[in-house]
Amino acid sequence: MSIAARTDTAEQRSAIYARLMQRNRLVDLLRFGLPVIGGIIFVALILQIYVGSLARDYGFANISIDRDNLLVESPTYTSTGSDGTIYEMAAQSARAAFDDADLIYLKGAAIGVKQPDGNTIDTAADMAQMRVSSQVFDVDGIMHVKTSTGVFGTLGDATIDVSNQTIDAPAGADLTFDEEGSRVIADTMTYRGETQIWRFTKATLVLEETPGELAYTAGKSGKPATP
Please give the chain's pLDDT, 227 residues, in tens. 444 445 557 676 666 666 666 656 555 544 444 444 444 444 444 444 444 444 445 545 566 677 777 787 888 888 887 778 888 888 898 888 877 878 889 999 999 988 888 889 999 999 999 888 888 999 999 999 999 988 899 999 999 998 888 999 999 999 998 766 789 999 999 998 888 888 999 999 888 766 555 555 555 555 554 44
Phi, psi of 225 (to 5 degrees): -70, 140
Please, which residues have CB within 8 angstroms of residue 46's CB and are 6 or more apart in sequence? 70, 98, 101
Distance CA 193, CA 166 (A): 6
**Whether residue 75 sits in one domain with residue 28:** no
**Whether residue 207 sits in one domain with residue 149:** yes
Q: Examine residue 221 and state whether it is found in any structural domain, yes or no.
A: no
Tally of structural domains, the chain:
2
For 73, the 3-state DSSP assignment is: strand
Query: What does the pLDDT read at residue 21?
Result: 67
Distance CA 221, CA 26 (A): 98
**Whether residue 95 sits in one domain with residue 23:** no
Q: Examine residue 224 and state whether it is found in any structural domain, yes or no.
A: no
Tell if the pTM clears 0.75, that is, is over it.
no
Containing domain of residue 6, as a range? 1-55
Which of the listed residues 55, 73, 93 is the one where a domain comes to its end? 55
**Whether residue 81 sits in one domain with residue 43:** no
**Whether residue 94 sits in one domain with residue 18:** no
Radius of gyration of the chain (CA): 32
**Whether residue 191 sits in one domain with residue 93:** yes
- DSSP summary character for residue 196: T
- Of 71, 64, 109, the closest CA to residue 91 belongs to 109
**Whether residue 185 sits in one domain with residue 81:** yes
Q: Examine residue 26 and state whether it is found in any structural domain, yes or no.
A: yes
**Whether residue 169 sits in one domain with residue 117:** yes
- Of 129, 203, 128, 138, the closest CA to residue 166 belongs to 138
- DSSP summary character for residue 223: P
Distance CA 207, CA 213 (A): 11
Q: Examine residue 133 and state whether it is found in any structural domain, yes or no.
A: yes
Please, which residues have CB within 8 angstroms of residue 170's CB and are 6 or more apart in sequence? 156, 157, 159, 188
**Whether residue 72 sits in one domain with residue 20:** no
Domain of 117, CATH number, reads 2.60.450.10
Q: Examine residue 183 and state whether it is found in any structural domain, yes or no.
A: yes
Alpha helices in 55-96 (DSSP H): none
**Whether residue 73 sits in one domain with residue 183:** yes
Q: Examine residue 107 and state whether it is found in any structural domain, yes or no.
A: yes
For 52, the 3-state DSSP assignment is: helix
Distance CA 93, CA 109 (A): 8
**Whether residue 67 sits in one domain with residue 169:** yes
**Whether residue 156 sits in one domain with residue 84:** yes
CB 89 within 8 A of CB 113: no
Give ∠ CA 207-212-214 in degrees, rounded to 5.
90
For 61, the 3-state DSSP assignment is: coil
Which of the listed residues 55, 82, 100 is the one where a domain comes to its end? 55
Query: What does the pLDDT read at residue 71?
Result: 80
Query: What does the pLDDT read at residue 32?
Result: 47
Query: What does the pLDDT read at residue 61?
Result: 52
